[in-house]
Structure 1
Amino acid sequence: MAAYDGSYQVFINFKGVDIYNNFISFLHSALKREGIDAFIDSENLLRREMLPNLFQIIRSSKISIPVISKGYAESECCLRELAEMVECYKSEGQIILPIFFDVEAEDVRNQTGIIEASFENHEKGNDEQTLKIWKNALNVVGGILGYQLKDVNG
């Protein structure tokens, strides 16, 4: 990944090739048509060594769009990025526009249902402070008025 030049207005955060191949690719195309430059991980760049660059992109973006789907909370990278988005939201007033893709905002906010089941695996390999940060980020984003997409096919 080349050094970031500050050109993205929107950071799109999501998990899964399945969601990328339908909803995310359509969202990204729609933003581009409107002249909005949005960053998405279309080349599977979300590795630990890439996080400093990704955090820089998040911090310099005007808007973050976390697309929270059923498998979202399984991804430590997604949760780290979400925590960074929330930090920017709290400290700099960055806009977060959450999209709840076949999940309930209440489950995100309270880490219940499918989010709770996905999150349980993180309790083995992470310290309490990290888990607290991630749960707080989910709580904050689950409490933001966002878009609820249910039963989305294609």
Structure 2
Amino acid sequence: MAASDDCCNYQVFISYRWEDTGNTFTGFLHSELKRERIDVFIDIENLPRGEEMLPKLFQGIESSKISIPIISKGYTDSKWCLIELAKMVECYKSRGQKILPIFFDVELNDIKMKNKTFEASFEQQHKKDPKNDEQTIQGWKHALSVVGEIKGFELKEVNG
């Protein structure tokens, strides 16, 4: 079933790792989208303090027409980023929702799990966490692989 125009509260959902791009590229992208009057779901603006995060994140993804994951070197270090990415891929496959990935100073082979760069993140961060079962971890890897096959934008050493 394709996503219909009346299903969406937001035009764009942005997923990013704050430490990598929050104060730089992501902040600029968010400002420019808003300047163009595009309705954007971004955590720093749309997640009220004191509320449970996961349902609000899923609602933001499900109610957006386009998801933009900004995949940076530290993206896979964040369990939250991986949860968001897996949900984006689920909506992409089940509802025809668009994903417009931005590969921020990373190699596509890393995203496709063909190099060891992101694998280290899974070994050091996620496999050691008893809350993450093997099926969840494989789902995150699969989501990365799917997004790696989508034509997006590759940005290297962005200034301003």
How many percent of aligned residue pairs carry the same amino acid? 64
Distance change >3 Å, CA 152–CA 114, structure 1 → 2: farther
Q: Tell me which residue corresponds to 1:140.
A: 146
The offset of 1:152, in angstroms, is 2.0
Alpha-carbon distance in structure 2 between the residues aligned to 1:111 and 1:55: 29
Which structure 2 residue ranges, 5 or more long, are not aligned? 1-7
Once superposed, which parts of structure 1, at least 4 consecutive aligned residues long, lie more than 6 Å away?
Answer: none
SS in 2 for 1:67: strand
TM-score normalized by structure 2?
0.85
Q: Tell me which residue corresponds to 1:78.
A: 81
Structure 1 residues 84-93 or 12-21, which shifts more? 12-21
Distance change >3 Å, CA 30–CA 43, structure 1 → 2: closer
The offset of 1:39, in angstroms, is 1.3
The offset of 1:119, in angstroms, is 2.1
Verify: 1:52 aligned to 2:58, yes or no.
no
Distance change >3 Å, CA 117–CA 46, structure 1 → 2: farther
Q: Tell me which residue corresponds to 1:115.
A: 118
The offset of 1:110, in angstroms, is 1.6
> Cα RMSD over matched residues?
2.2
Paired amino acid for 2:154: Q
Cα displacement string for residues 101-148 of structure 1 (whole angstroms, at most 9, x for unaligned residues): 010122111263432222222112221110111011000001111100
TM-score normalized by structure 1?
0.88
